[in-house]
Amino acid sequence: MEIKEKSSTVHIETAKCRTCESKACIEACKKYARGILQLKDGAPSVSHLSADEVLRLGTECLACEFACAFSGNKAITIDVPVTGLPEYLARRGLA
């Protein structure tokens, strides 16, 4: 599943979520953001919101990714493109 926010994209491997016991991402979203993630069929979902509501309510706080990485099944990654970062890293031999 892919969730588009203002300047980032949240990628969720829902198959991993179904075997996750903690569902830590849901609690992290409630605690640190606006609680847009809800549990549906054993996986996080924003299907209860329109795309416009996700853009308006999403805080891009990264809490779901950290919670999933440390207490869940490592199913969430967030892509935050930074203009010029690949070139910057390449110039310094870090790419």
Length of the chain: 95
Does residue 94 register a pLDDT over 90?
yes
CA-wise closest residue to 37 among 67, 16, 7, 15: 67
- Strands (E) in the chain, as ranges, are 2-4, 9-12, 38-40, 43-45, 76-79
Domain residue limits, the chain: 2-91
* The pLDDT value given to residue 95: 82
At residue 65, φ and ψ (nearest 5 deg) are -65, -45
pLDDT, tens only, 14-25:
999 999 999 999
* The pLDDT value given to residue 92: 96
* The pLDDT value given to residue 4: 94
Give this prediction's pTM: 0.85
pLDDT, tens only, 36-91:
999 999 999 999 999 999 999 999 999 999 999 999 999 999 999 999 999 999 99
